[in-house]
């Protein structure tokens, strides 16, 4: 993980397979600036303890060892530095309680990972384009 250049997207994902597929899909359209945190703990360390400016987007998986996605989200929203960072939950869970909890804690969007790769690729690429290129968030 390197903060040498401006980070546009922080991908928080424990599954190496999903991470690689997501990173590939993102890099298809967006050049660089994607950082991968392998679990919630690593994500929090990067977001709250480093001195780099917050990313333009956090792509957050829910079910992760140690610190889960919902807890990461809660901690981000509780911290003034990351209170307004756009967070998109990208998860396998279609369960209604997860969706409700995600929005209640201040997620900006909730996307269920499509199983078919082509759909998945398309979804991830669109998320990246929308939040990094189209969306205007407070800095």
Residues of this chain that interact with other proteins (CB under 8 A) are: 15, 17-18, 21, 24, 62-63, 91-95, 113-118, 120-121
Q: Shortest gap between Cβ of 122 and other proteins (angstroms)?
A: 12
| Cα 24–Cα 29–Cα 31 angle in degrees, nearest 5 | 85
What 3-state class would DSSP assign to 90?
Answer: strand
Q: Shortest gap between Cβ of 71 and other proteins (angstroms)?
A: 16
Q: Shortest gap between Cβ of 116 and other proteins (angstroms)?
A: 6
Residue 14 or 85 having the CB closest to other proteins:
14
Residue 103 or 122 having the CB closest to other proteins:
122
Residue 3 or 122 having the CB closest to other proteins:
122
For residues 50 and 1, the answer to whether their CB atoms sit within 8 Å is no
**Which H or E element spans position 5?**
none
Residue 26 or 47 having the CB closest to other proteins:
26
CA–CA dist 136, 130 (Å, integer): 10
CB-based burial of residue 49 (10 Å sphere; 0-12 exposed, 13-18 middle, 19+ buried)? exposed
């Amino acid at each position: 993980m390197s903060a040498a250049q401006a980070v546009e997207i922080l991908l928080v994902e424990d599954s190496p397979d999903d991470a690689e597929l997501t990173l590939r899909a993102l890099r298809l359209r967006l050049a660089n600036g994607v950082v991968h945190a392998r679990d919630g703990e690593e994500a929090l360390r990067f977001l709250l303890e480093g001195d780099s400016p917050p990313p333009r987007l956090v792509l957050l998986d829910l079910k992760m060892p140690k610190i889960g996605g919902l807890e990461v989200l809660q901690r981000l929203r509780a911290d003034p530095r990351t209170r307004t960072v756009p967070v998109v939950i990208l998860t396998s869970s279609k369960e209604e309680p997860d969706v409700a909890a995600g929005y209640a804690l201040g997620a900006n969007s909730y996307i269920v990972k499509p199983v078919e790769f082509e759909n998945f690729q398309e979804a991830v690429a669109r998320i990246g384009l929308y939040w990094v290129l189209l969306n205007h968030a407070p800095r």
